[in-house]
Every structure is written in C-alpha cells, then in structure tokens.
C-alpha cells in the first residue's frame, strides 16, 4: 500500500512540473511572437518611408528628360538673338526662359572670378590669367540645373597659376 500512495504523489508532482514547463514554453513562445510582430511592424514602416522618399524624388525630377531636350533650343534661340535683331525670337526666348523657371530649371552662369566648382562647372580650358588660380575666367556655355541636380554643367575657362621663367608654377599673387 505504501507503494500506491507514493506512486500517486509522484503522479501529482509530474503534472505540476509539467504545467510550469508548459507555462514557461508558452511565455517563451509569446515573447518570440511579440518580437516577430515588432520586427514586421518596423519593416512595414521602413518600406512605407522608402516608398514615400522614392515618390518624392520621382515628383521632384519628373521633368529632367523634358528639360534636357529643351536646352539645345534655348541655346539656339540665344545665338539667334545675338546675331540679328529679331523681336519675335526675343519674345520666344523670354517665353521659353519663363517656362523653364516655372519648371524649377535654373541657369548656372558663373561670373568671372567665381571659384571653379567641379560639380556645377566643366573646365574646357585652363589659361594663364591675372585672376586667382582655379577661378572662372569666362563662360563658353551656360549650364542648367533642376532642383538640386545639374542637368548640364557650365562650360568654363579656368585660370591657372602663372609659370616663372624656369617653369615652376606660382600664383599671380606670389609674383611681385
């Protein structure tokens, strides 16, 4: 009989430890599922933010191809205005410039003496000049930008350091 009473006690202890193990397993599973849910929510939020940024960039630069196609027309009209007195061509040029302004297309036309910016200017030649080295001497062709992008850099002539007789370059400010 003693064995019978001992066996039921063991049987009672087993289910209670089994319940504790089941509770611990359920809590671990709950924690794991909570972590997975938080990661899924964060991933969805990141995807939403990325899509919003891409949509904003698409709106911002939608006219880039259009603007690149109009730039040669603008250049041709400017050349025609310089060569002849055609009031109609001047009117078309003003209208085109106005249309480009409305499309947020801005001119990149550095002034002589302005510091050379390789992101906005393209050096076509380097000439010895009285100006500071690495500054714009003249503009061969204006550049254009759309928002913060450069559609076409300004083609410029850049000042270079004046060379001494022995061939060592020095800046014009060093020679007295």
The band of 7, judged by pLDDT with boundaries at 50, 70 and 90, is very low
At 55-114, the pLDDT tens digits run 888 877 777 777 776 777 777 777 777 776 666 677 778 778 887 887 788 999 999 989
Q: What is the mean pLDDT of the chain?
A: 80
Please report how the helices 87-102 and 64-83 are oriented relative to each other, as an axis angle in degrees rounded to 10: 160
Which percentage of the chain shows pLDDT scores above 70? 80
What is the Cα–Cα distance from 100 to 79, expressed in whole angstroms?
Answer: 18
> Which is more confidently placed, 5 or 170?
170
**pLDDT value, residue 71:** 79
Contacts of 22 (CB under 8 A, 6+ apart): none
The band of 30, judged by pLDDT with boundaries at 50, 70 and 90, is very high
Residue 123, pLDDT above cutoff 80 = yes
The band of 42, judged by pLDDT with boundaries at 50, 70 and 90, is very high
With b for 16 or more beta-carbon neighbours within 10 A and e for fewer, the 59-93 pattern comes to: eeeebeeebeebbeebeebbeebeeeeeeebeeeb
| Residues 154 and 109: beta-carbon distance below 8 Å | yes
> Which is more confidently placed, 142 or 83?
142
Average pLDDT over residues 122-151: 90
- Which domains are delineated in the chain? 64-170 (2.30.22.10)
The band of 176, judged by pLDDT with boundaries at 50, 70 and 90, is very low
| Residues 139 and 152: beta-carbon distance below 8 Å | no
At 144-159, the pLDDT tens digits run 998 889 999 999 999 9
């Amino acid at each position: 009989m003693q064995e019978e009473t001992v066996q039921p006690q063991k049987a009672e202890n087993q289910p209670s430890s089994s319940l504790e193990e089941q509770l611990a397993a359920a809590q671990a599973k709950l924690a794991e599922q909570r972590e997975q849910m938080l990661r899924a929510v964060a991933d969805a939020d990141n995807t939403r933010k990325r899509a919003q940024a891409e949509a904003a960039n698409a709106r911002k630069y939608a006219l880039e191809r259009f603007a690149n196609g109009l730039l040669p027309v603008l250049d041709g009209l400017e050349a025609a205005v310089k060569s002849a007195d055609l009031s109609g061509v001047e009117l078309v040029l003003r209208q085109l410039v106005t249309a480009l302004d409305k499309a947020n297309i801005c001119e990149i036309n550095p002034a002589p003496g302005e510091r050379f910016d390789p992101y906005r200017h393209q050096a076509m030649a380097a000439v010895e000049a009285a100006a500071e080295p690495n500054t714009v001497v003249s503009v061969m062709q204006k550049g254009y930008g759309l928002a913060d992008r450069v559609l076409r850099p300004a083609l410029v002539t850049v000042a270079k350091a004046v060379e001494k007789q022995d061939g060592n370059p020095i800046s014009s400010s060093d020679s007295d």
